[in-house]
Amino acid sequence: MLETYRGIPHLLDTWLVLTGMTLPIAISALRRPGDLIPRLAAFCMPAAFALVIAATLSPTAHRLARVGECGTHLTTTGGLTSLQGLLNILLFVPAAGMLTLASGRPGDGIAAGIGMSAAVEAVQALLPQLGRSCQLHDLVANSIGAFCGVGLAAGLQLLTRSRLLVTPPYVVEHAALLVVRRSRRPARHRRGTLVPPRRPAAAVRYHRTNTQLSG
């Protein structure tokens, strides 16, 4: 599925073209309101998926005659321990991780990684003109990479969330001042009419005395 760089002609050119095509979507995702980390992940996500497409569906010099043929042996071409197997694992780490950070749902990254790998293998099996061989160990390696990317993204989310939950000392002091400060007595209302506050008892007695003397 994923050969070394020498076996994929124009890999970098294809990736740059696909990334440039998705650049407006990435800029729009970066400018949306929200936290910085999800916006950065949404900005980098199109480039990560473009790398997967460029690395797995770019035509090679190999030519396969049969249509719909797919290898089911996990030990083919070294399996997961070969250079190709390690590259297949690393290829899906950024895509699944960025999708998890952007959406906040780990299930999306896992489902997208496994589903995209299965779709790539199906296209390689149905289009032998690409010179790509469909292999079961490629699907397994891509799925492992998707799980690794989701795990890294979940760890980063947990780390940033724990930092946000830590309350700075000055916030606690300011809140304490707000609690200790005496609040004003609420104004009394009666059927929509503002009732003036009661006058002190001494002022009331002085007013009554003056009224009696004048009378």
Residue 173 lies in a domain: no
| Contact (CB, 8 A) for 11 and 47 | no
- In the prediction, which pLDDT does 101 show? 95
Q: How many helices (H) and strands (E) does the chain have?
A: 8, 4
* Domain interval for residue 38: 5-165
pLDDT digits (tens, 9 = 90+) for 24-43: 999 998 888 888 999 999 99
Residue 200 lies in a domain: no
pLDDT at 211 over 60: no
Residue 10 lies in a domain: yes
Strands 70-71 and 134-135: parallel
Residue 71 lies in a domain: yes
Among candidates 107, 98, 188, which has minimal Cα distance to 149? 98
Which range in 60-64, 144-148, 191-195 is most confidently predicted, on average pLDDT? 144-148
Tokens representing 107 are 């299930």
pLDDT digits (tens, 9 = 90+) for 48-95: 999 999 999 888 877 776 787 787 776 655 567 778 888 899 999 999
Residue 176 lies in a domain: no
Who contacts 117 (Cβ-Cβ below 8 Å, separation ≥6)?
92, 138, 139, 142, 143, 146
pLDDT digits (tens, 9 = 90+) for 158-179: 888 766 555 455 444 444 444 4
Domain count for the chain = 1
Block residue for tokens 């469909």: 134
pLDDT at 200 over 70: no
Q: How far apart are CA 145 and CA 157, in angstroms?
A: 18
Q: In what helix (H) or strand (E) does residue 189 lie, and over which residues does it extend?
A: strand 189-190
- The residue-averaged pLDDT of 128-133 equals 83
Residues above pLDDT 90, as percent of the chain:
39
Confidence (pTM): 0.68
- In the prediction, which pLDDT does 197 show? 56
Residue 23 lies in a domain: yes
The average confidence (pLDDT) of the chain is 78
- The residue-averaged pLDDT of 114-143 equals 90
